[in-house]
Structure 1
Amino acid sequence: MSNLLYLNTENTHSLSKDILKPKIDRDKIKTGIAHIGLSNFHRAHQAYYIHELIEKHDELNFGICGIDLLESDRKIYNILKDQDGLYTLVIKNADGTQEYKIIASIIEYFYGPENPLAAIERLARPDIKIISLTIAEDGYHLNETTGEFNLTHPKVKEDTISKFNPKTVFGYLTQAFMLRKHRGLPGCTILSCDNIKANGATIKKSFYTYVEKTEPSLLPWLKKNTSFPNSMVDRITTVTTTKDIELLKETYNIHDQWPVVCEPFSKWIIEDDFIAGRPDWDKVGIEFVQDIEPYENTKLRILNAGHSILGILGTLNGYKYVHEVANDEHFIFFLESFIKTEVNPNFQNIDQHNLKAYTKEVIERFKNTHINDSLSRICKESSSKIPIFVFPTLKDQITNHQSIEYGTFVIAAWCKYYDGIDDFGHSFDIQDSLSNQLIRTAALSHQNPQLFLEKNAFFKDLVTHDLFQERFKYYLSKLRSTPIKECLVLMNKKML
């Protein structure tokens, strides 16, 4: 591989004709968006859409300035600097074909831990019309019991001591908007792109709570000069592997240190509430609506819940990848039954035919054998996911006096998951900020199943519901005495 090309601006003209090279004069692009959290998902989704808009519709005012705030983000920051912000998007189709596209919409990048004042200053500049975020569920620092912003979180406390070396996204935003206010500059839109319910309303409430505690004089200005649209994002994006990197080298002689792998499907729906203007995203297929809730609920309760359910149940059976579980008829029949019996009845205002079609589409996406989406990724931080994706369905079913069998089975399997051993005696890693607590309460549940419910605050009023308690104890006992696949066979036959 003596002619190996390192991915950067200078080398793009020498790339293989089979690679979709950027047809963009990057010198003409002006920054209009600051994005916090340069995750694989951001690079497969928001940055992809901006690239399409620049390339196909000559939108030059909304280039992206990427900003990373975590110590663990140093690697991606260094790579983006080396590669001039360029990276390869690898789209893996279900038929085995792959598309390779160089994305060129990230034109600046900052690393907060290295120079927090520089990142704050960049966020404060008036050319930034939108600050978007992918900081994952745990980046919002919500209290697991109340769902409110956690002012006692250690990182939040650190921010109050060292305002100009913040540890949270809220600390950076606060100081940036303080500068805008003092300089007489306009505010901007804060756009959450995370899988949390009412993500815009959630970050708005959390941010206002943080500001009221740390810089109360800023709050009236913020209320007049910022907007927080809710959004729904959707594209399955996997962890990049060494194999993905090597394949680019072997096939196209490209050395891209961190390509991004995703599925062909992509969707983005946003409430049209942008205080400082926005790109013409509708030109590249993004939908703007007045109320995101019906779209959001459908996605969270079917796709996101489905992912987590297959992740937990599949891990207990020794599977490693989503497509393995999704192509096992027993697991997928269980998921389809959960959706049909317990999820869909709560969508009164959505056409059931459309729901059926959406469910079928989601499951086909899960079955894509070329994505290789790991169950460990899906199960990571499940303590932040299950309460968002599964609990609302359980609570609605309880309120409506309808079946909770499938949802309760999932919660029992989730408890067994924290035993850390699959049905073949193999251990697996548990990656969760609450892992110590959950592993301990799962251990206690061997003697008293109720303790898993009582000692984990996110169960809230589910703990007091008699039928839920009864079915949880029953299913947990079955799962600990019978392999999960056998349980599913019996469940699917309504014999468990």
Structure 2
Amino acid sequence: MVMTILNTASLPHLPPAIVVPAYDRGRVTPGIAHISVGNFHRAHQAVYMDRVLARPGQSGWGILGIGLMENPHEAAKAQDMAAQDCLYSLTECAPDAPNVVRVIGSITQYMYAPADRAATIARLADPAIRIVSMTVTEGGYYVDENGVFPIDHPVIAEDLKRDVPHTVFGLLTEALRQRRESGAGPFTILSCDNLPQNGHVARTAFLGWARAKDAGLAQWIEANVTFPCTMVDRITPAVHAEDVRRLDAESGLDDRIPVFCEDFIQWVVEDRFCAGRPELEAVGVQFTDNVQPYEEVKLHMLNASHSLLGLSGVLSGYRVVSEIMADLNEVTLVEQYLGYDAEPLLSAPPGMALSEYGRRLLHRFRNRAISDQLLRIASDSTSKLPMFIRSTAMGVIAHHRPVARIAFVVACYAEYLRGHDDRGETYVIVEPHLTEEDRILAASSRLEDALGMSALAGWGLAEHPAFVQAYVALRQSIRAHGTRATLATVISAGK
């Protein structure tokens, strides 16, 4: 089979079944810089911007992609983006319809920051850049549970000493300093990470950095830069080498960096942009004065369900979501958690029925075409559980509701950190925010000691004897009888 190399020259000659950009990319200039161009950004924000650029008068809202992390994977991505003129294919997979392949053209330039950080800062200082968005992961903001940005953290403290900073906080703050001095004005900093009130968290982090560096600049940022809150949603699996081969075979493209995702997409944004914004409302983005109800539903239903499935699934020996969704007990666990634990504590946004949202989630999870890796979903649970599970756990305990499902997910987290599943097979634990003290507590022979891990700080679990008893019993059961058998006892209790 002859494959078509994907680049600007080949774009007019692609098969008619492939949807190509409906605008002249040669006229597009970047108005947005995006930090950390991962698969999710390329399947989500870049897709909305691809739609916007097809509208009249929007050609100044292209994306400048910026790779931030210094590692071989990111360096290779920069090379691939350059080779393909920043074009890539996106395969959208519906559970009950043929796949749709699109070429996304909204990223028009790409910079690898470690190659020349000073040049990257200068590019961010260009007044044409009016929004800087980012997907730096949930744990990438360093703000602790008390809302404090730790300037004494080794990564932050070291970077504050540099003349040319390496972190996202340093790069953007230095760019804002240059813009203030040149009169270029501020840009909006737009977090697109899965964090409650992510705009407020970003504001805390950037102001914390700026105050440590230059109090006057911090005052200017506080007065002029906007940090909208957002809620993003689209299931986008990791892309492995075998996925690249499969996607290219299906599309007929020689694409080094294809992405695939579900057909569902949602973006809810607080309408606060200090330097203007594109016409996103015309292409499906929801603007609101209050993102919080949307994000709480998403975080405490979708993301929490993923954590339940990821942790229990990995321990049970499953490796992809489609496998675990064929396990009726796992599905029942999610249904019970949503219906009995999460939904009663949530306030639905206008026009949303929580029960219908929950049913839609399970329908999305059953989409075999985008079956995600459970190890990826379970990774960084140390950062994820406080955001996705904590408030539900605390609410369940406060309302004297049955704690079995909460105790089960906490027990699975502790057992997951042992690094082997029920069949004795080992797996790589990816927990960048797990401390050495956490590891000691997780490995303690006194199983209740693990309730002191940093991920569970502030939950108050150890102060509730009934919870501790249930949690210890479930960990013992997982070890003695396996995760699947233990789960069966959890769901048998029902409501």
- 2:93 is aligned to 92
Within 5 A, what are the aligned runs for 1:165-176?
Answer: 166-176=165-175
Counterpart residue number, 1:28: 27
Equivalent residues in 2 for 1:60-459, closer than 5 Å: 60-72=59-71, 73-95=74-96, 97-143=98-144, 146-164=146-164, 166-348=165-347, 354-435=353-434, 437=436, 438-444=438-444, 447-456=445-454, 458-459=456-457
Tell me the distance in 1 between the aligned counterparts of 2:348 and 2:250: 49
- Deviation of 1:439 after TM superposition, in Å, equals 4.0
- Provide Cα deviations, 1:8-38, integer angstroms capped at 9, x if missing partner: 1011122112211223211211211111010
Please say which of residues 150-159 and 300-309 is displaced more in the overlay. 150-159
Task: Pick which of 308-317 and 342-351 moved more.
Answer: 342-351
For 1:115-145, what per-residue CA distance to the aligned partner results, in whole angstroms no more than 9, with x for missing partners?
A: 00111011111111111000001211233x5
Distance 1:247 1:405 in 2: 41
Q: How far did residue 288 of structure 1 move? A: 0.4
Deviation at 1:351, TM superposition (A): 8.2
The residue that corresponds to 1:484 in the other structure is 483
Aligned-residue sequence identity (percent) comes to: 34
Q: Structure 2: how far apart are the matches of 1:35 and 1:473?
A: 44
For 1:5, the equivalent position in structure 2 comes to 4
Between 1:121-130 and 1:93-102, the stretch displaced more is 93-102
Mapped partners of 1:251, 1:160: distance in 2:
48
d(CA) in 1 for partners of 2:372, 2:97: 15
How many residue pairs get matched? 491
In the superposition, the TM-score normalised over structure 2's length comes to 0.95
When structure 1 is superposed on structure 2, of 387-396 and 93-102 the one drifting more is: 93-102
Q: Secondary structure at the match of 2:7?
A: coil
How far apart in 1 are the matches of 2:380 and 2:423?
24
Query: Normalising by the residue count of structure 1, what TM-score does the alignment of the two structures yield?
Result: 0.95
Deviations 1:381-426 (A, max 9, x none): 1111011100110112223333322112110111111111111111
CA distance in 2, matches of 1:246, 1:353: 39
Q: Distance in 2 between matches of 1:336 and 1:34?
A: 40
SS of the aligned residue for 1:113 comes to: helix
Evaluate the alpha carbon distance shift between residue 390 and residue 246 of structure 1 in structure 2; reply closer, same or farther with a 3 A threshold. same
The separation in 2 between residues aligned to 1:306 and 1:248, in whole angstroms, is 28
Task: Name the Cα RMSD after superposition.
Answer: 1.9
User: 1:96 offset after TM fit, Å?
Assistant: 6.1
2:16 corresponds in structure 1 to 17
Distance 2:301 2:139 in 1: 21
Measure the CA separation in 1 of the matches of 2:189 and 2:138: 16
Instruction: Say whether 1:470 aligns with 2:462.
Output: no
Deviating runs (4+, > 4 A) in structure 1?
A: 348-353
SS of 1:393's partner is: helix
Q: Secondary structure at the match of 1:71?
A: coil
Query: By how many angstroms is 1:88 displaced?
Result: 0.3
Q: Secondary structure of 2:75's match?
A: helix
The Cα offsets for residues 424-461 of structure 1, whole Å up to 9 and x where unpaired, read as 111111111145634432221xx201211124364223
Report the Cα distance in structure 2 between the residues aligned to 1:471 and 1:342, rounded to whole angstroms. Answer: 16
Shift of 1:95: 2.7
| Larger mean Cα displacement after TM superposition, 250-259 or 229-238 | 250-259
Q: 1:474: how far off? A: 2.1
Summarize the Cα distance change of 1:107–1:298 in structure 2 as closer, same or farther, 3 Å threshold. Answer: same
Which piece of structure 1 moves more, 371-380 or 145-154?
145-154
Separation in structure 2 between the aligned mates of residue 349 and residue 96 of structure 1, nearest angstrom: 30
Larger mean Cα displacement after TM superposition, 196-205 or 28-37: 28-37
**Higher deviation after alignment, 401-410 or 301-310:** 401-410
Q: 1:267-286: per-residue Cα shift (whole Å, max 9, x none)?
A: 00001111111111011110
- CA spacing shift, 1:467–1:231, aligned 2, 3 Å: same
SS of the aligned residue for 1:370 comes to: helix
Q: Which moves more between the two structures, 90-99 or 215-224?
A: 90-99
- Can you list the C-alpha shifts for 1:316-351, whole angstroms capped at 9, x where unaligned? 110010121122110010111011111111125668
Contact conserved, 1:135 with 1:194, CA < 8 A, in 2?
yes
How big is the shift at 1:463? 3.1
Give the Å deviation of 1:295: 0.6
CA distance in 2, matches of 1:66, 1:268: 19
What is the distance in 2 between the residues matched to 1:384 and 1:171?
22
Cα distance change, pair 378–31 in 1 and its aligned pair in 2 (3 A): same
> Is the contact between residue 270 and residue 289 of structure 1 (CA under 8 Å) also seen in structure 2?
yes
Seen in structure 2, the aligned counterparts of structure 1 residues 455 and 406 have a Cα distance that, compared at 3 Å, is closer
1:388–1:273 Cα change, 3 Å: same
- State the alpha-carbon separation in 2 of the partners of residues 244 and 473 from structure 1: 40
CA distance in 2, matches of 1:250, 1:236: 22
- SS of the residue corresponding to residue 19 of structure 1 reads coil
Which whole-Å deviations, capped at 9, do the CAs of 1:209-263 have from their partners, x for residues lacking one? 1111112120121122110110000000011132332234434432100101100
What letter corresponds to residue 304 of structure 1 in structure 2? N
List alignment gaps of at least 5 residues for structure 1: none
> Can you list the C-alpha shifts for 1:334-389, whole angstroms capped at 9, x where unaligned?
11101111111112566898100000001111111111210011011111101110
CA drift at 1:297: 0.4
Contact in 2 for aligned 1:412/1:472 (Cα 8 Å): yes
Once the two structures are overlaid, the 10-residue window that deviates more, 107-116 or 13-22, is: 13-22
